[in-house]
Amino acid sequence: MSNEWWRTAAIYQVYVRSFADANGDGIGDLPGVRSKLGYLAELGVDAVWLTPFYTSPMADGGYDVADYRDVDPVFGTLSDAEALITEAHDRKLKVIVDIVPNHTSSQHPWFVEALAAEPGSPARDRYLFRDGRDGGPPNDWESIFGGPAWTQVGDGQWYLHLFDPGQPDLNWENPEVRAEFESILRFWLDRGVDGFRIDVAHGMVKADGLPDAACSDQASLLTSRALPYFDQDGVHEIYRAWRKILDSYPGERIGVAEAWVPNAERLARYLRPDELHQAFNFHYVEADWSATAFRQVIDDSLAAVAGVNAPSTWVLSNHDVQRHVTRYGGGEQGMRRARAAALLTMALPGSVYVYQGEELGLEEITDLPEEVLADPMWERSGHTERGRDGCRVPLPWSGSEPPFGFGASSWLPQPQHWANLTAEAQRDDPDSMLALYREALRRRRELPAEGLEWLAAPEDVLALRRGAVTCTVNFSAAPVTIARPGSVELASCPVADLGVDEDTVTLPPESAVWWSGDRDG
């Protein structure tokens, strides 16, 4: 790996609450993560991104931070975090932590102080307090989780929260806010973290005067439309300041933007040479299962980052979206497509993200009992949106009964059929999803860092070349015969199902193959 490890890194997302529970309270924790570093090293990823583990009342799974410099007791202690970083480094794994700068928790000392202070006071100026309009909120903005984005306080003023009322938005025009986050970055950089995943990176700066959005249906995390509270040009100045801090530390410390923006060009603006290193490619998550859609999103993504000399990222799942086995149709079809998507994704130039459990082929759990739902979206939507708990069910590690080695219990129930999908059950099975990920991650290291050449292929097939490897993907539900690109290196389907001939190969439905050399090779 070159010095710029992040250009090609495979980054594994750990949703701490649901990864591994070391102390038996049913909630994943940092010692639990530490106990599984061997698994991650064996899987073959380069870095681990940890979702927020800071002190939090957990109004939004920890994305409501009350103390950015400490660990919530439910997740462990600050020394657990330090031990985790050290041990990860010993195992040659980088560590990326989440930073949540758009909002704090309503229990953060600053917000407590703001509530006790007068309208117009310096304490209120750290947040976005405003007087109402015509007896209602100051403007028409909606919370991403449903309902108005404003909540009224005792003296009649309203405060902005793009998410839950427990997540008041900070005022990034206030120099104290900027200085505080620079100090928080340094706090974690001093503890050795290799980078930050920046939550709502497109949200910190709001349009001047907080104008109405003047459109219905604003509320969605996945929105790509232009809105007065997202993707404002002023946000880039913050990243230019942060980049200077990152660059002032030894090693390559990185910033990764979680930014939902209208298109790949807007996203690339976050990746200009003096800003951030990577941004999540949510357009890839949104691509429909078709050769045309994937070809388009891959081309658009690569073209946009080429202009700023940044790598593209490739993301299939995370803790906010439906797991892709389910998104691709569920059942055997979803699994087949997910295996093919994994091989395509790992063949692409840039950095790839793996969300915990996708390497086990886990599906979305869509029938969690209502009484266990914890996502604020469930309450805020008036019980019309079940929310994101279905992709956050604790991982199955071993054994034949829930909680499958996750801990002594699990905070969300796991389905019985996950007995077949535990890490233990898959470890030695060469046909398992886990084996496919391990092999693809290993061979991916041999691909060139950059460059992708499309080869001619029938309508429903993509064929691309990366150095000595050709990757073919048959998106259609029917077999397709093509000229044989080389010898089989890795396949998402049983190799016996590939109709390999001297000159041709028949690709089974919804399958991907890596081929090496030329056809005689």
State the catalytic residues.
199, 252
How many residues at the interface with ligand NOJ, by CB under 6 A? 9
Comparing C-alpha atoms, which of 480, 397, 382 is closest to residue 145?
382
In whole angstroms, what separates CA 385 from the centre of its chain?
21
Q: How far is the CB of 14 from Ca ion (least distance, A)?
A: 14
Please give the residues from 63 up to 102 whose contact with ligand NOJ meets the rule CB under 6 A.
Answer: 63, 100
Residue 63 or 181 with smaller CB distance to ligand NOJ: 63
Residue 215 or 408 with smaller CB distance to Ca ion: 408
What letter does residue 25 receive in the DSSP assignment?
Answer: S
Residue 103 or 253 with smaller CB distance to ligand NOJ: 103
What letter does residue 170 receive in the DSSP assignment?
Answer: B
Alpha-carbon gap, residue 466 to 464, rounded angstroms: 7
Helices (H) then strands (E): counts for the chain: 15, 21
Please give the residues from 243 up to 262 whose contact with ligand NOJ meets the rule CB under 6 A.
Answer: 258
Select the residue whose beta carbon is closest to ligand NOJ and give its number.
63
Which of Ca ion, ligand NOJ, none is residue 510 near (CB under 5 to 8 Å by kind)? none
- The secondary element (H helix, E strand) that includes residue 309 is none
Which of ligand NOJ, Ca ion, none is residue 29 near (CB under 5 to 8 Å by kind)? Ca ion
Within 10 angstroms of residue 446's Cβ, the number of other Cβ atoms is 12
Which of Ca ion, ligand NOJ, none is residue 208 near (CB under 5 to 8 Å by kind)? none
Is 60 a binder of ligand NOJ (CB under 6 A)? yes
What is the DSSP secondary-structure string of 335-389? HHHHHHHHHHHHHSSSEEEEETTGGGTPPP-----GGG---HHHHHTTSS---SG
Contacts of 105 (CB under 8 A, 6+ apart): 56, 57, 59, 64, 65, 66, 111, 166, 167
Residue 60 or 80 with smaller CB distance to ligand NOJ: 60
Residue 6 or 397 with smaller CB distance to Ca ion: 397
Which of ligand NOJ, Ca ion, none is residue 199 near (CB under 5 to 8 Å by kind)? ligand NOJ
Q: Position of tokens 């996203």? A: 267
Q: How far is the CB of 461 from ligand NOJ (least distance, A)?
A: 34
Is 510 a binder of Ca ion (CB under 5 A)? no
Q: How far is the CB of 18 from Ca ion (least distance, A)?
A: 11
Options 53, 110, 163, 475; binder of ligand NOJ; rule CB under 6 A: 163
CB 337 within 8 A of CB 329: yes
What is the DSSP secondary-structure string of 220-248? -TT--S--TTSS-TTHHHHHHHHHHHHHT
User: Which tokens hold the place of 261?
Assistant: 């923006």
User: Which tokens hold the place of 89?
Assistant: 């480094």
Options 200, 279, 297, 491; binder of ligand NOJ; rule CB under 6 A: 200
Options 169, 194, 199, 231; binder of ligand NOJ; rule CB under 6 A: 199
Which of ligand NOJ, Ca ion, none is residue 460 near (CB under 5 to 8 Å by kind)? none
Please give the residues from 7 up to 66 whose contact with Ca ion meets the rule CB under 5 A.
Answer: 21, 23, 25, 27, 29
Alpha-carbon gap, residue 423 to 278, rounded angstroms: 30
Which of ligand NOJ, Ca ion, none is residue 358 near (CB under 5 to 8 Å by kind)? none
User: Which tokens hold the place of 30?
Assistant: 């940092």
Is 473 a binder of ligand NOJ (CB under 6 A)? no
Binding mask 282-321 for ligand NOJ (x = CB under 6 A): -------------------------------------xx-
Comparing C-alpha atoms, which of 109, 406, 227 is closest to residue 117?
109
Q: How far is the CB of 354 from Ca ion (least distance, A)?
A: 23
Residue 179, CA distances (Å) to 167, 182, 186 in order: 20, 5, 11
Residue 377 or 441 with smaller CB distance to ligand NOJ: 377
Cα-Cα-Cα-Cα dihedral sign, residues 502, 504, 508, 513: positive
Residue 8 or 167 with smaller CB distance to ligand NOJ: 167
Residue 25 or 431 with smaller CB distance to Ca ion: 25
Omega before residue 376 within 30° of 0, cis = no
DSSP bridge pairs for 14: 50
Q: How far is the CB of 59 from ligand NOJ (least distance, A)?
A: 10
Which of Ca ion, ligand NOJ, none is residue 63 near (CB under 5 to 8 Å by kind)? ligand NOJ
Q: How far is the CB of 146 from Ca ion (least distance, A)?
A: 30
Rounded to 5 degrees, what angle do the CA atoms 191, 192, 196 make? 100
Which of ligand NOJ, Ca ion, none is residue 60 near (CB under 5 to 8 Å by kind)? ligand NOJ
The residues that touch Ca ion, with contacts defined as CB under 5 A, are: 21, 23, 25, 27, 29
Binding site for ligand NOJ (CB under 6 A): 60, 63, 100, 163, 199-200, 258, 319-320
